[in-house]
Structure 1
Amino acid sequence: MPADITWEEPFCGEGANCFRLGTDPHGNAYIAIAGREDEPLTDTREALRTLIQDIKAGKADHLL
């Protein structure tokens, strides 16, 4: 895992786990549970952006 990931502030669902988004200088995107940034999932920035937008829009509340 790259050591140069820039993490955003955690996003927390109502009474649920918090997660963080990050990017590296090569344009790769990461998502991790807050506090477990050493074990991120990776995907394209567009795929992660779509996932997060859907979660924030309430389309995937059960994931949090």
Structure 2
Amino acid sequence: MGDITWEEPFCGEGASCFRLGIDTIGNAYIAIAGEEDAPLTDSRDALRRMILGIKAGKADHLL
């Protein structure tokens, strides 16, 4: 895994904070803020769609 550049955390109303990141070859990552050493990975587009859905309230129970 290459170096990951993390975006600022996205925090819900509770204590759930997530971060999106991308490495030098274009792989996307998502991690709980503070636990960036164990991220999930998928395509950047898939992760962006998931986060936009959560922000739009389609899955607010996940936060």
Q: Please give the TM-score of this superposition, normalised by the length of structure 1.
A: 0.93
Give the aligned CA root-mean-square deviation in angstroms.
0.9
- Figure out how many residues of one structure are paired with residues of the other and give that number: 63
CA distance in structure 2 between the aligned counterparts of 1:3 and 1:10, rounded to whole angstroms: 20
Tell me the secondary structure at the aligned position of residue 55 of structure 1: helix
Correspondence for 2:16: 17
- Aligned residues with identical type, % of pairs: 78
Pairing of 1:15-54 with structure 2 (within 5 A):
15-54=14-53
2:21 partner SS: strand
**How far 1:3 sits from its partner (Å)?**
4.8
Q: Which runs of 4+ in 1 moved over 4 A?
A: none
Deviation digits for residues 26-47 of structure 1, max 9, x if unmatched?
A: 0000000000000000000110
TM-score w.r.t. the length of structure 2 is: 0.95
Q: Using the TM superposition, give the Cα deviation of residue 15 of structure 1 relative to its aligned residue in structure 2, in angstroms.
A: 1.4
Show structure 1 runs of 5+ residues with no match: none
Q: C-alpha distance in 2, partners of 1:33/1:59?
A: 19
